[in-house]
Chain A
């Protein structure tokens, strides 16, 4: 173990960045499985163990990364303190995505199944879109391409707006509660996941003080 001192290898923020990407891949895995349980009729018991195990892995990674970030500051000093603070926000957002995937599984555990309904295809389309965005977010964490990041965040905002509109429609729907409520809850989780994904990318590209805010700090997007 102590020989790691003499070996060449990745360390510092590069290593932390790679571990956050792994966390994001885990979060996507949980999201896909949980969504399948609600939308494609997968047995919640079958996927539940996998999702909980993945969530434990995400939580463990979050705790280890927090410690690693403190070590980074202790060893390197405060030069990269902005990045370190951004990473603490970023890993929390990824951990929240993992939790929200688990919340979606809770819907399935409660007996909610939206498979085979008239709007299932529409919901599956949104699920695929969000899942793809998770991969994109991971790529942006590595590339830190500012233009693509800005485009990604714009698309997140549009999708969040669409999801919010749909949630409002369900709130005023004439349909019975058993139809509207599970959908409103599912869309709400999706909306939070998309907001967290936008936050993940913002953490990599935006100054620390503007993260989770739009319009130069005027609009709070973290609690909507």
Chain B
């Protein structure tokens, strides 16, 4: 019964991951460079629609649903903030939207169990508990942030301590390392005759492709690299309960694989089979929420302004604050669980509700929201 799969040597895979992280940073930097090449009026036109915070929130949801990765969408947001064209205040709702959008992946995975009622009920509840928690966190923290600016102020203070005050230019060493390949991209496109907005657009597209491709392969390789560790620790931690240890495990796994979707999607078949309970899964998904913010922080290292790091930090602070607000008190902690169980019970009775929920929450409402509010 031994496996016959031919595995790439660990050291080769590790070197590959480092190279992919470098490509990811080049992508973020190329994105920033592309926007900067565009004229100020073009930048103004591009980002004026997100000045409404709710529109920003819905764009964050839609963008993340489209790329199925909040790591990718928040990294792009960080890159845009680094250009100065997108302000921190406008980026914060988008980052919160990314948090909601990323939950679509495990919800889609749970639909794979739709033919077996009891399995589906458990799987769907395990998936949507993440949705409800994130929606509740946004419902509380977005208005608070809009009124007080507490999250962005806290992030700005940390950012100031680390890289300097807003408005200044930060000489990131990472930025220097990725400068050369970005100039190759720009020179190459320039050589093909592209200039002005067209050159900027091509650089943005190239940057987006590099970010998405690099993140996809980083996730794939890291998953292979740490799969045995994930398996071992899941068996140990989930077998003996949930709580803070499970949250920490979610954080570690997500940082390792650079994707909260991977972490939360792994849990769905376990929930479906009844191997772990909804209450054990819940803290793991919260840890994954925090873990996924590491990618945007990494992206901020390739940016040239402190504001980029501020946005990355807002994402982290938002998720940590959400946990601090909604997890410690048992009655509040149970709200997302009860909502998820209720929705799962409805979805089992009528499967169409599940499909309607996915389309409604992740596509129709955000599209309508953007169309109306922009």
Chain A residues within 8 Å of B, Cβ to Cβ: 1-2, 4-6, 9, 11-13, 15, 17, 64, 66-68, 70-76, 79-80, 82-83, 86-87, 144, 203-204
B231 and A2 contact, CB distance less than 8 A: no
A5 and B253 contact, CB distance less than 8 A: yes
The CA of A59 and the CA of B253, in the complex, are separated in Å by 31
8 Å CB contact of A204 from B1, B234, B238, B266:
B1
8 Å CB contact of A74 from B1, B3, B5, B269:
B269
State how many angstroms separate the Cβ of A21 from the closest Cβ of chain B.
12
State how many angstroms separate the Cβ of A10 from the closest Cβ of chain B.
8
A9 and B232 contact, CB distance less than 8 A: yes
8 Å CB contact of A2 from B227, B249, B273:
B249
A83 and B3 contact, CB distance less than 8 A: yes
- B239 contacts which chain A residues (CB < 8 A)? 64, 67
A to B contact number (C-beta, < 8 Å): 85
A67 and B229 contact, CB distance less than 8 A: no
Interface centre among A66, A71, A87 (most CB of B within 10 A): A71
B2 and A1 contact, CB distance less than 8 A: no
- A144 contacts which chain B residues (CB < 8 A)? 1-2
A11 and B232 contact, CB distance less than 8 A: yes
Chain B residues within 8 Å of A, Cβ to Cβ: 1-3, 5, 226-240, 245, 248-249, 252-253, 256, 266-270, 273, 275
Give the 10 A-B residue pairs with the shortest CB-CB distance, closest first.
A11-B232, A11-B228, A5-B233, A83-B1, A67-B275, A74-B269, A75-B231, A70-B273, A2-B248, A70-B275
B229 and A11 contact, CB distance less than 8 A: yes
Identity of the chain B residue whose Cβ is nearest the Cβ of A8 in the assembled complex: B229
State how many angstroms separate the Cβ of B2 from the closest Cβ of chain A.
6
State how many angstroms separate the Cβ of B7 from the closest Cβ of chain A.
11
Identity of the chain B residue whose Cβ is nearest the Cβ of A203 in the assembled complex: B1
Identity of the chain A residue whose Cβ is nearest the Cβ of B241 in the assembled complex: A1
The answer to whether residues A5 and B2 also contact, given A67-B239, A70-B275 and a CB cut-off of 8 A, is no
State how many angstroms separate the Cβ of B252 from the closest Cβ of chain A.
5
8 Å CB contact of B245 from A1, A13, A82, A87:
A1
**Apart from A12-B231, A75-B266, A83-B3, 12 more pairs, CB < 8 Å:** A1-B233, A1-B236, A2-B252, A5-B230, A5-B232, A5-B249, A6-B229, A67-B275, A70-B273, A71-B231, A75-B234, A86-B1
Interface centre among A1, A74, A83 (most CB of B within 10 A): A74
- B226 contacts which chain A residues (CB < 8 A)? 5
The CA of A174 and the CA of B1, in the complex, are separated in Å by 48
State how many angstroms separate the Cβ of B223 from the closest Cβ of chain A.
8
8 Å CB contact of B234 from A64, A71, A80, A83:
A71
- B268 contacts which chain A residues (CB < 8 A)? 74
A79 and B3 contact, CB distance less than 8 A: yes
Interface centre among B231, B236, B273 (most CB of A within 10 A): B231
A72 and B231 contact, CB distance less than 8 A: yes
A67 and B235 contact, CB distance less than 8 A: yes
- A87 contacts which chain B residues (CB < 8 A)? 1
B252 and A5 contact, CB distance less than 8 A: yes
8 Å CB contact of B233 from A2, A67, A74, A80:
A2
The CA of A139 and the CA of B248, in the complex, are separated in Å by 39
- A5 contacts which chain B residues (CB < 8 A)? 226, 229-230, 232-233, 249, 252-253, 256
State how many angstroms separate the Cβ of A139 from the closest Cβ of chain B.
15
State how many angstroms separate the Cβ of A91 from the closest Cβ of chain B.
12
A1 and B266 contact, CB distance less than 8 A: no
State how many angstroms separate the Cβ of A59 from the closest Cβ of chain B.
16
B231 and A76 contact, CB distance less than 8 A: yes
- A75 contacts which chain B residues (CB < 8 A)? 227, 230-231, 234, 266
- B252 contacts which chain A residues (CB < 8 A)? 2, 5
- B227 contacts which chain A residues (CB < 8 A)? 12, 75-76
- A15 contacts which chain B residues (CB < 8 A)? 232
B249 and A71 contact, CB distance less than 8 A: no
Identity of the chain A residue whose Cβ is nearest the Cβ of B266 in the assembled complex: A74
The answer to whether residues A13 and B3 also contact, given A4-B236, A5-B252, A75-B227 and a CB cut-off of 8 A, is yes
The CA of A79 and the CA of B228, in the complex, are separated in Å by 14
A71 and B228 contact, CB distance less than 8 A: no
State how many angstroms separate the Cβ of B226 from the closest Cβ of chain A.
8
- A1 contacts which chain B residues (CB < 8 A)? 233, 236-237, 240, 245
The CA of A75 and the CA of B230, in the complex, are separated in Å by 7
State how many angstroms separate the Cβ of A223 from the closest Cβ of chain B.
24
The CA of A27 and the CA of B69, in the complex, are separated in Å by 48
The CA of A7 and the CA of B274, in the complex, are separated in Å by 27
The CA of A64 and the CA of B239, in the complex, are separated in Å by 8
- B5 contacts which chain A residues (CB < 8 A)? 79-80
The CA of A30 and the CA of B233, in the complex, are separated in Å by 31
The CA of A73 and the CA of B269, in the complex, are separated in Å by 9
Identity of the chain B residue whose Cβ is nearest the Cβ of A79 in the assembled complex: B5
A2 and B270 contact, CB distance less than 8 A: no
The CA of A110 and the CA of B204, in the complex, are separated in Å by 82
The CA of A71 and the CA of B233, in the complex, are separated in Å by 10
